[in-house]
Every structure is written in C-alpha cells, then in structure tokens.
Amino acid sequence: MAQESPKNSAAEIPVTSNGEVDDSHEHAYHRDLKRSLPSGLGLSETQITSHGFDNTKEGVIEAGASQGPSAPPLPSVLSPSRVAASQLAQPGGDLTVPAGGQRTNTKGGPVILADEIKNPAMEKLELVRKWSLNTYKCTRQIISEKLGRGSRTVDLELEAQIDILRDNKKKYENILKLAQTLATQLFQMVHTQKQLGDAFADLSLKSLELHEEFGYNADTQKLLAKNGETLLGAINFFIASVNTLVNKTIEDTLMTVKQYENARIEYDAYRTDLEELNLGPRDANTLPKIEQSQHLFQIHKEKYDKMRSDVSVKLKFLEENKVKVLRNQLVLFHSAVAAYFAGNQKQLELTLKQFHVKLKTPGVDAPSWLEEQ
C-alpha cells in the first residue's frame, strides 16, 4: 500500500463535482479586498507594485472586475507611479485623503506658520477706502455749513488777518497791472521819441535853412528818450519786486492758509461725528466706535492746531517783509518819476544808483554769471 504524501494547504486547488475549478475563495478575496479599500479605488484598476525583487521589471498583480450582482460600477482612478508608491511606503510620510477621494502625501514634522504677506493691492484698496471716507465726511461738513445746519470752528483774530491779506493781494494785483500798462505806454513813447529824434537829425542835414532848428529838436527828443529809458528801468524794477511779493511770497502764504482751512474742515467733520456718537447709546457695539472716533478726532485736532500755528507765523513774517519791500519800491518809484518830469537827469540817474538798478543797454546782451563773478 502506497504511502500518502503530506498535503499542503497552500498548494491545494479545490474542484467542483463537475471537474471545474472552484473559485469561491477568489470571490471571497475580492469581496474582502473591496471592503478594505476606500470607495474611490476600483478593483478593476488596482495595481500592486513590488520593489523587493532584484530584477528590473516590476511585479504587477491585476485583479479582475468583480462579477457580483450587488457591486455597483466604481470610478476609475490613475494608478500610482513608482515614485508615488515609494513615497507611500515611507514611514515618515502622512497619508491624507481629501474630500475628492485622491490621496496626497504630506511629510510629517512641525508645522510652521509663516507671517502674513502684505498684498500691495490690498494696501492700495485700504488707502482708497480711507480717502473715500474722509472725503465723504468733509463734503458733508461743507454742505452742512453752507446750509446753516452745521457748526464750524472760527478763530476771529486769524480769520480777520486772512481776509485782510486776500483783500491786499487784490489791490496789489491792480497796482501791478496798472504799472505794467504804464511801462508799456512809456516804452512806446520812448520808441516814438527815438524815431522822431532820428527824423529831426536827418532833416537837419538835408535842410540848410533849418539846420539849427531841426538839430535842437533832435537833441531834445534824444534826451527825452534817454531819460525815458532810465525811468522805464526804474518802473520795471518796481514791477519785478511787486510781482515777486504778490505772486510768490503772498501766494505761498495763501497756500498755507488753504491747507489750514482743509485741516479745519476735517477737524470739524470728525468733531461732529464724535458728538453724534456721544449723544447715542453706549453699549458693547458702540464703545469701540466711540474710541476709534475719539482717536481720529485727536489726530485731526493736532493737525489743525499745527496748521493754525504755521499760518500765524507766516502772516507775521509776511507783514514784516511786505512793509520792507514796499517802502523801498515806493520811494524808488516816486523819486524816479519826480526827477523825470522835472527834467533832472542827474537826480534820475542818482536815484537808480541809490537803489542799485542796472539799466539794460540796447543791443547788448546781459553778462553771464561767470562774468559777473
């Protein structure tokens, strides 16, 4: 009797009564595998990659699709590559499954929170928001003042000085305009006197009978033209000095006054907001708004006080400078006009020397700054 060979359970191949291979174990394997895998992975697409062999080929075991009647169609996903499989096999990696069902690999370790990066676009948007809010408040304040509904802060002494300055500016501009008209007319007269003197001199050479008479008139017109040019130089110097005073010195002070008025409107606008909030209820919602309004009010109050101080200082220095400049220019203008119409040529030239007025010689260019040095 032959001895039976020992049976190996791993090598047994079950068969049915009809002689076919019994695949019930295989169906049970696929069923257990389907339950253990996430719903996003289908059995028909499952691949197992092995890197434990020495050969270069990958060992791939593909499992066929389940034929069970209760298994719904599963969505297909991309098979992980060799690099992804190796990363999944690393012990230090963390496997994260997002809501979509795909697996992503994130390395473990301490989490570092980076500082919030400032976005230039957000900063510009914030600046635009603040500017819009400030413009709205100031516009509302201006409209309220014009309609007589809002209150405004008034410094009576400073406002009176500003009104006088603006009125004086208009008067100085009128004097400047008239002086320019006088200079234009005097220039035309001097030009006419020169032409008339040349005409008399030409006739004195061609008319022997009236040689002396034409000669006297030619000399007189030339002398008047010369004195007129001297007076014209004094008037032009007067115009230049008054123009500098009006269009530069006074205008600079008025620009500071304009900034002061804008600061005053902002101060009143934020003051009105703070007063309205203080009149309302005080609770957990309004207290932060009141504190913020108080902070903004304090900022604009300091700005308003600073601008008011700057305007006061500039008005004081402007008054001193204006008196000094106009005194010298008025004395020059009076002395030059009196000497011209008195026919005192020496006194006219002495007046110009006294005030350091340099006349431009016709046909000669002004010296350069290097020549003056």
Which range is least confidently modeled, 24-38, 96-110, 150-164, 317-331?
A: 96-110
**241-265 average pLDDT score:** 92
Residues belonging to the chain: 373
DSSP letter for each residue of 126-156: HHHHHHHHHHHHHHHHHHHHHTT-S-----H
pLDDT bin (cut points 50, 70, 90) of residue 211 is: confident
Cα–Cα distance, 344 to 197 (Å, whole number): 20
Q: What is the pLDDT of residue 269?
A: 86
Higher pLDDT residue, 150 or 40?
150
Cα–Cα distance, 44 to 17 (Å, whole number): 30
Q: Is the CB of residue 350 less than 8 Å from the CB of residue 336?
A: no
Q: Is pLDDT at 134 greater than 60 in this prediction?
A: yes
**269-274 average pLDDT score:** 85
Higher pLDDT residue, 372 or 291?
291
pLDDT bin (cut points 50, 70, 90) of residue 118 is: low
**137-155 average pLDDT score:** 82
Cα–Cα distance, 205 to 222 (Å, whole number): 16
DSSP letter for each residue of 182-232: HHHHHHHHHHHHHHHHHHHHHHHHH-STTHHHHHHHHHHHHHHHHHHHHHH
* pLDDT > 70 in the chain, percent: 64
Please write the tens of the pLDDT for every residue from 149-200: 878 888 889 999 999 999 999 999 999 999 999 999 999 999 999 999 999 9
What residues contact residue 318 under an 8 Å CB cut-off, 6+ apart? 165, 249, 250, 253
Q: Is the CB of residue 337 less than 8 Å from the CB of residue 231?
A: yes
In the chain, count H helices and then E strands: 9, 4
Q: Is pLDDT at 85 greater than 60 in this prediction?
A: no
**285-305 average pLDDT score:** 87
Q: Cα-flanking dihedrals φ and ψ of residue 355, to 5°?
A: -100, 15
Q: What is the pLDDT of residue 185?
A: 93
Q: What pTM was computed for the model?
A: 0.58
Beta strands in 44-137 (DSSP E): 49-50, 59-60, 93-96, 104-107
**213-225 average pLDDT score:** 89
Q: Is pLDDT at 145 greater than 90 in this prediction?
A: no
pLDDT bin (cut points 50, 70, 90) of residue 140 is: confident
Looking at every residue in the chain, the average pLDDT score rounds to 74
pLDDT bin (cut points 50, 70, 90) of residue 359 is: low
| DSSP-assigned beta bridge partners for residue 364 | none
What residues contact residue 85 under an 8 Å CB cut-off, 6+ apart? 49, 51
pLDDT bin (cut points 50, 70, 90) of residue 127 is: confident
Cα–Cα distance, 216 to 207 (Å, whole number): 13
CA distances from 81 to 78, 257, 274, 330 (A): 9, 75, 67, 98
Q: Is the CB of residue 165 less than 8 Å from the CB of residue 250?
A: yes
Q: What is the pLDDT of residue 69?
A: 45
Q: Is the CB of residue 190 less than 8 Å from the CB of residue 362?
A: no
- Using CA of residue 99, residue 105, residue 111, residue 112, what is the dihedral sign? negative
- Three-state secondary structure call for residue 350: helix
What residues contact residue 280 under an 8 Å CB cut-off, 6+ apart? 286
Q: Is 101 left (phi over 0), alpha (psi -120 to 50) or beta?
A: left
